[in-house]
Amino acid sequence: MSWTASDAEALSSEAPRYLRLLASGALRERASLARERLAECRLCPRRCGVNRLDGQLGYCRAGAGARVASYNVHHWEEPPISGSGGSGTIFFTYCTGRCLFCQNYSISQLGVGNDMTTSELARTMLTLQRRGCHNINLVTPTHYVPQIIAAVAEAANQGLHIPIVYNTSGYERVETLRLLEGIVDIFLPDAKYADDGVARELSGFDGYVAHNRAALLEIKRQVGTELLVDPQGIAYRGMVVRHLVLPEGLSQTPEVLTWIAENLGRETYVSLMAQYFAAHRAVDHPKLGRRLYRREYRVALDALEELGLENGWTQELDRVY
Protein backbone atom coordinates (compact mmCIF):
# COMPACT_ATOMS: atom_id res chain seq x y z
CA MET A 1 0.00 0.00 0.00
CA SER A 2 1.51 3.33 -1.07
CA TRP A 3 0.73 6.54 0.80
CA THR A 4 1.17 10.13 -0.42
CA ALA A 5 0.87 13.59 1.11
CA SER A 6 -2.52 14.02 -0.53
CA ASP A 7 -3.69 10.81 1.16
CA ALA A 8 -2.73 12.28 4.51
CA GLU A 9 -4.59 15.51 3.79
CA ALA A 10 -7.74 13.53 3.00
CA LEU A 11 -7.77 11.81 6.40
CA SER A 12 -10.52 12.82 8.80
CA SER A 13 -9.77 14.27 12.24
CA GLU A 14 -10.87 10.93 13.72
CA ALA A 15 -8.31 8.90 11.75
CA PRO A 16 -5.32 7.51 13.67
CA ARG A 17 -2.45 9.94 13.52
CA TYR A 18 0.07 7.24 12.64
CA LEU A 19 -1.40 7.26 9.13
CA ARG A 20 -0.09 10.78 8.67
CA LEU A 21 3.33 9.71 9.91
CA LEU A 22 3.18 6.80 7.49
CA ALA A 23 2.41 9.10 4.55
CA SER A 24 5.31 11.41 5.37
CA GLY A 25 7.80 8.59 5.91
CA ALA A 26 8.26 9.64 9.54
CA LEU A 27 6.82 6.40 10.90
CA ARG A 28 9.63 4.29 9.42
CA GLU A 29 12.18 6.79 10.68
CA ARG A 30 10.67 6.61 14.16
CA ALA A 31 10.85 2.82 14.08
CA SER A 32 14.54 2.95 13.19
CA LEU A 33 15.27 5.49 15.91
CA ALA A 34 13.41 3.44 18.50
CA ARG A 35 15.23 0.23 17.61
CA GLU A 36 18.56 1.94 18.27
CA ARG A 37 17.43 2.40 21.89
CA LEU A 38 17.60 -1.39 22.37
CA ALA A 39 21.39 -1.31 22.06
CA GLU A 40 21.56 0.45 25.45
CA CYS A 41 18.10 -0.08 26.85
CA ARG A 42 16.72 2.73 28.98
CA LEU A 43 13.12 2.43 27.87
CA CYS A 44 11.70 2.30 31.39
CA PRO A 45 12.70 4.20 34.54
CA ARG A 46 15.05 1.38 35.59
CA ARG A 47 17.41 2.36 32.75
CA CYS A 48 19.28 -0.97 32.82
CA GLY A 49 21.55 0.02 29.91
CA VAL A 50 21.83 -3.54 28.55
CA ASN A 51 22.33 -4.32 24.86
CA ARG A 52 19.18 -6.24 24.04
CA LEU A 53 20.21 -6.48 20.39
CA ASP A 54 23.20 -8.52 21.53
CA GLY A 55 21.17 -10.85 23.74
CA GLN A 56 21.63 -9.10 27.07
CA LEU A 57 18.64 -9.04 29.41
CA GLY A 58 17.73 -6.38 31.93
CA TYR A 59 15.24 -6.32 34.80
CA CYS A 60 12.22 -7.01 32.57
CA ARG A 61 13.97 -9.97 30.86
CA ALA A 62 12.68 -8.94 27.44
CA GLY A 63 14.97 -9.48 24.47
CA ALA A 64 15.42 -8.05 21.00
CA GLY A 65 12.08 -9.39 19.78
CA ALA A 66 8.58 -9.09 21.20
CA ARG A 67 7.08 -11.92 23.21
CA VAL A 68 3.28 -12.18 23.20
CA ALA A 69 1.24 -14.23 25.66
CA SER A 70 -2.10 -13.92 23.87
CA TYR A 71 -4.24 -11.78 21.61
CA ASN A 72 -8.00 -11.68 21.32
CA VAL A 73 -11.18 -9.62 21.06
CA HIS A 74 -11.85 -8.17 24.50
CA HIS A 75 -15.28 -6.86 25.54
CA TRP A 76 -14.58 -5.80 29.14
CA GLU A 77 -12.64 -2.58 28.87
CA GLU A 78 -14.29 0.80 29.50
CA PRO A 79 -17.36 1.17 27.21
CA PRO A 80 -15.82 3.62 24.67
CA ILE A 81 -12.82 1.28 24.32
CA SER A 82 -14.70 -2.01 23.94
CA GLY A 83 -17.75 -0.68 22.13
CA SER A 84 -19.80 -3.34 20.36
CA GLY A 85 -16.96 -4.95 18.42
CA GLY A 86 -14.49 -5.31 21.26
CA SER A 87 -10.95 -4.11 21.83
CA GLY A 88 -8.15 -5.99 20.10
CA THR A 89 -5.94 -6.82 23.05
CA ILE A 90 -2.35 -7.99 22.69
CA PHE A 91 -0.92 -9.16 26.02
CA PHE A 92 2.85 -8.78 26.07
CA THR A 93 5.02 -11.05 28.19
CA TYR A 94 7.14 -9.73 31.07
CA CYS A 95 6.81 -6.43 32.88
CA THR A 96 8.81 -3.58 34.37
CA GLY A 97 7.20 -4.28 37.76
CA ARG A 98 6.78 -7.18 40.17
CA CYS A 99 3.35 -6.63 41.72
CA LEU A 100 2.73 -9.05 44.59
CA PHE A 101 -0.95 -9.18 43.61
CA CYS A 102 -0.57 -9.48 39.82
CA GLN A 103 -3.50 -11.43 38.39
CA ASN A 104 -1.49 -12.16 35.22
CA TYR A 105 1.72 -13.19 36.99
CA SER A 106 2.25 -16.22 34.75
CA ILE A 107 2.63 -13.76 31.88
CA SER A 108 4.27 -10.81 33.59
CA GLN A 109 6.65 -12.66 35.87
CA LEU A 110 6.93 -16.28 34.72
CA GLY A 111 7.43 -15.43 31.05
CA VAL A 112 4.58 -17.38 29.45
CA GLY A 113 4.30 -16.45 25.78
CA ASN A 114 5.74 -16.87 22.30
CA ASP A 115 8.30 -14.75 20.50
CA MET A 116 7.02 -12.83 17.47
CA THR A 117 8.88 -11.20 14.63
CA THR A 118 7.90 -7.72 13.48
CA SER A 119 5.92 -9.21 10.61
CA GLU A 120 4.10 -11.64 12.90
CA LEU A 121 3.16 -8.85 15.29
CA ALA A 122 1.95 -6.73 12.37
CA ARG A 123 -0.17 -9.63 11.10
CA THR A 124 -1.64 -10.03 14.58
CA MET A 125 -2.78 -6.40 14.52
CA LEU A 126 -4.32 -6.85 11.08
CA THR A 127 -6.06 -10.04 12.22
CA LEU A 128 -7.69 -8.22 15.14
CA GLN A 129 -8.80 -5.45 12.79
CA ARG A 130 -10.37 -7.98 10.44
CA ARG A 131 -12.23 -9.47 13.40
CA GLY A 132 -14.01 -6.16 13.88
CA CYS A 133 -12.06 -4.69 16.80
CA HIS A 134 -12.32 -0.95 17.34
CA ASN A 135 -8.65 -0.58 18.26
CA ILE A 136 -5.38 -2.37 18.92
CA ASN A 137 -4.93 -2.53 22.69
CA LEU A 138 -1.29 -3.01 23.75
CA VAL A 139 -1.27 -4.46 27.27
CA THR A 140 1.96 -4.00 29.28
CA PRO A 141 3.85 -2.61 26.27
CA THR A 142 6.59 -0.39 27.75
CA HIS A 143 9.54 -2.76 27.30
CA TYR A 144 8.56 -3.46 23.67
CA VAL A 145 8.03 0.08 22.37
CA PRO A 146 10.60 -0.23 19.53
CA GLN A 147 9.17 -3.55 18.37
CA ILE A 148 5.63 -2.15 18.52
CA ILE A 149 6.48 0.92 16.46
CA ALA A 150 8.10 -1.25 13.79
CA ALA A 151 5.03 -3.52 13.70
CA VAL A 152 2.62 -0.58 13.48
CA ALA A 153 4.63 0.82 10.57
CA GLU A 154 4.46 -2.50 8.72
CA ALA A 155 0.79 -3.10 9.53
CA ALA A 156 -0.22 0.43 8.56
CA ASN A 157 1.48 -0.02 5.21
CA GLN A 158 -0.74 -3.09 4.74
CA GLY A 159 -4.00 -1.41 5.71
CA LEU A 160 -4.14 -1.02 9.50
CA HIS A 161 -6.39 1.97 10.17
CA ILE A 162 -7.76 1.68 13.73
CA PRO A 163 -6.44 3.52 16.83
CA ILE A 164 -3.58 2.22 18.94
CA VAL A 165 -4.29 1.97 22.69
CA TYR A 166 -1.34 2.06 25.10
CA ASN A 167 -2.39 0.17 28.24
CA THR A 168 0.30 0.71 30.86
CA SER A 169 1.15 0.52 34.57
CA GLY A 170 2.11 4.18 34.33
CA TYR A 171 5.75 3.43 35.19
CA GLU A 172 7.15 5.22 32.17
CA ARG A 173 9.97 7.45 31.00
CA VAL A 174 8.93 10.65 29.25
CA GLU A 175 11.64 10.04 26.64
CA THR A 176 10.04 6.71 25.69
CA LEU A 177 6.54 8.17 25.57
CA ARG A 178 7.79 10.80 23.12
CA LEU A 179 8.73 8.01 20.71
CA LEU A 180 5.00 7.21 20.64
CA GLU A 181 3.81 10.74 19.90
CA GLY A 182 1.54 10.67 16.86
CA ILE A 183 1.45 6.86 16.95
CA VAL A 184 -0.68 6.20 20.02
CA ASP A 185 -4.02 8.00 20.08
CA ILE A 186 -5.51 6.52 23.26
CA PHE A 187 -3.61 6.06 26.51
CA LEU A 188 -4.84 3.91 29.42
CA PRO A 189 -2.23 4.62 32.12
CA ASP A 190 -2.50 3.49 35.71
CA ALA A 191 -1.95 5.83 38.62
CA LYS A 192 -1.28 3.14 41.20
CA TYR A 193 0.24 4.88 44.21
CA ALA A 194 1.04 8.18 45.90
CA ASP A 195 3.72 6.68 48.17
CA ASP A 196 7.07 5.45 46.87
CA GLY A 197 7.68 3.14 49.80
CA VAL A 198 4.42 1.27 49.22
CA ALA A 199 5.04 1.20 45.46
CA ARG A 200 8.41 -0.42 46.05
CA GLU A 201 7.11 -2.90 48.61
CA LEU A 202 4.03 -4.04 46.71
CA SER A 203 5.13 -3.65 43.09
CA GLY A 204 8.91 -3.38 43.04
CA PHE A 205 8.77 0.08 41.45
CA ASP A 206 11.60 2.49 42.27
CA GLY A 207 10.60 6.15 42.24
CA TYR A 208 7.11 5.32 40.99
CA VAL A 209 5.34 8.52 41.99
CA ALA A 210 7.61 11.00 40.21
CA HIS A 211 7.87 8.87 37.08
CA ASN A 212 4.14 8.20 37.00
CA ARG A 213 3.21 11.85 37.38
CA ALA A 214 5.69 13.00 34.76
CA ALA A 215 4.28 10.36 32.41
CA LEU A 216 0.70 11.47 33.00
CA LEU A 217 1.62 15.08 32.25
CA GLU A 218 3.38 14.01 29.04
CA ILE A 219 0.35 11.98 27.97
CA LYS A 220 -1.84 15.01 28.63
CA ARG A 221 0.45 17.07 26.40
CA GLN A 222 0.19 14.53 23.60
CA VAL A 223 -3.53 13.73 23.57
CA GLY A 224 -5.20 15.92 26.20
CA THR A 225 -7.45 14.67 28.97
CA GLU A 226 -10.72 14.71 27.06
CA LEU A 227 -11.75 11.32 25.68
CA LEU A 228 -12.94 11.98 22.14
CA VAL A 229 -15.54 9.61 20.70
CA ASP A 230 -17.09 9.16 17.28
CA PRO A 231 -20.86 9.29 16.60
CA GLN A 232 -21.12 5.64 17.67
CA GLY A 233 -19.52 6.43 21.04
CA ILE A 234 -16.20 4.72 20.23
CA ALA A 235 -13.07 6.44 21.52
CA TYR A 236 -10.54 7.58 18.95
CA ARG A 237 -8.27 9.90 21.00
CA GLY A 238 -7.55 10.85 24.58
CA MET A 239 -6.72 9.26 27.90
CA VAL A 240 -8.36 7.36 30.74
CA VAL A 241 -6.46 7.17 34.02
CA ARG A 242 -7.05 3.88 35.81
CA HIS A 243 -6.75 3.39 39.56
CA LEU A 244 -7.17 0.06 41.33
CA VAL A 245 -8.39 0.50 44.90
CA LEU A 246 -6.43 -1.80 47.24
CA PRO A 247 -7.36 -3.05 50.72
CA GLU A 248 -6.23 -1.18 53.84
CA GLY A 249 -5.83 2.09 51.92
CA LEU A 250 -2.59 0.83 50.35
CA SER A 251 -3.31 2.55 47.04
CA GLN A 252 -3.61 5.98 48.74
CA THR A 253 -6.67 6.68 46.61
CA PRO A 254 -7.62 10.15 47.96
CA GLU A 255 -4.05 11.38 47.42
CA VAL A 256 -3.85 9.93 43.91
CA LEU A 257 -7.18 11.48 42.91
CA THR A 258 -6.25 14.84 44.44
CA TRP A 259 -3.12 15.01 42.30
CA ILE A 260 -5.10 14.10 39.19
CA ALA A 261 -7.71 16.79 39.85
CA GLU A 262 -5.13 19.49 40.58
CA ASN A 263 -2.60 18.67 37.86
CA LEU A 264 -4.44 16.99 35.00
CA GLY A 265 -7.77 18.71 35.56
CA ARG A 266 -11.18 17.79 36.89
CA GLU A 267 -12.33 16.96 33.36
CA THR A 268 -9.92 13.98 33.31
CA TYR A 269 -11.53 10.60 32.70
CA VAL A 270 -10.88 8.27 35.63
CA SER A 271 -11.70 4.58 35.85
CA LEU A 272 -11.96 3.72 39.55
CA MET A 273 -11.59 -0.05 39.77
CA ALA A 274 -12.82 -2.30 42.58
CA GLN A 275 -12.04 -5.74 41.17
CA TYR A 276 -9.06 -6.44 43.42
CA PHE A 277 -8.64 -9.96 44.72
CA ALA A 278 -5.66 -11.70 46.28
CA ALA A 279 -3.52 -13.41 43.65
CA HIS A 280 0.07 -14.61 43.27
CA ARG A 281 2.14 -13.64 46.32
CA ALA A 282 -0.67 -11.61 47.91
CA VAL A 283 -2.68 -14.67 48.91
CA ASP A 284 -1.09 -14.96 52.36
CA HIS A 285 -0.22 -11.27 52.73
CA PRO A 286 -1.46 -9.79 56.04
CA LYS A 287 -3.10 -6.82 54.30
CA LEU A 288 -3.56 -7.89 50.69
CA GLY A 289 -4.79 -11.42 51.32
CA ARG A 290 -8.51 -10.61 51.03
CA ARG A 291 -11.07 -8.94 48.79
CA LEU A 292 -11.73 -5.22 48.89
CA TYR A 293 -14.36 -4.20 51.45
CA ARG A 294 -17.37 -2.14 50.39
CA ARG A 295 -16.52 0.57 52.92
CA GLU A 296 -13.02 0.89 51.41
CA TYR A 297 -14.42 1.46 47.95
CA ARG A 298 -16.91 3.95 49.42
CA VAL A 299 -13.96 6.04 50.64
CA ALA A 300 -12.65 6.08 47.07
CA LEU A 301 -16.05 7.05 45.66
CA ASP A 302 -16.42 9.86 48.18
CA ALA A 303 -13.01 11.25 47.24
CA LEU A 304 -13.92 11.14 43.57
CA GLU A 305 -17.11 13.08 44.24
CA GLU A 306 -15.55 15.62 46.58
CA LEU A 307 -12.84 16.43 44.04
CA GLY A 308 -15.35 16.95 41.23
CA LEU A 309 -13.92 14.20 39.03
CA GLU A 310 -17.15 13.46 37.20
CA ASN A 311 -15.90 11.89 33.97
CA GLY A 312 -15.18 8.19 33.85
CA TRP A 313 -16.38 4.97 35.37
CA THR A 314 -16.93 3.41 38.76
CA GLN A 315 -18.20 0.00 39.77
CA GLU A 316 -21.38 -0.98 41.55
CA LEU A 317 -21.02 -1.39 45.30
CA ASP A 318 -23.00 -4.63 45.20
CA ARG A 319 -20.08 -6.14 43.30
CA VAL A 320 -17.70 -5.32 46.15
CA TYR A 321 -17.28 -7.73 49.06
Q: Please give the model's pTM, rounded to 2 decimal places.
A: 0.96
Share of the chain above pLDDT 70, in %: 96
pLDDT at 171: 98
- Which residues of the chain carry a pLDDT beneath 50? none
Report how far residue 117's alpha carbon sits from residue 298's, in angstroms, rounded to the nearest whole number.
46
What is the residue range of 33's domain? 5-319
Q: Domain containing 106 — which CATH number?
A: 3.20.20.70
Q: Contact 80/235 with Cβ under 8 angstroms? A: yes
- pLDDT value at position 8? 58
How many structural domains compose the chain?
A: 1
Q: Which residues contact 158 (CB under 8 A, 6 or more apart)?
A: 1, 122, 126
Give the model's pLDDT for residue 151.
98
pLDDT value of residue 276: 96
pLDDT tens readout for residues 183-224: 999 999 999 999 999 999 999 999 999 999 999 999 999 999
The b-or-e profile of 56-80 (16+ CB within 10 A means b, else e) is bebbbebbbbbbbbebebbeebbeb
Q: Residue 275: what pLDDT?
A: 94
Mean of the per-residue pLDDT values for the chain? 96
List C-alpha distances in Å: 291 to 169, 240, 279, 285.
Answer: 21, 24, 10, 12
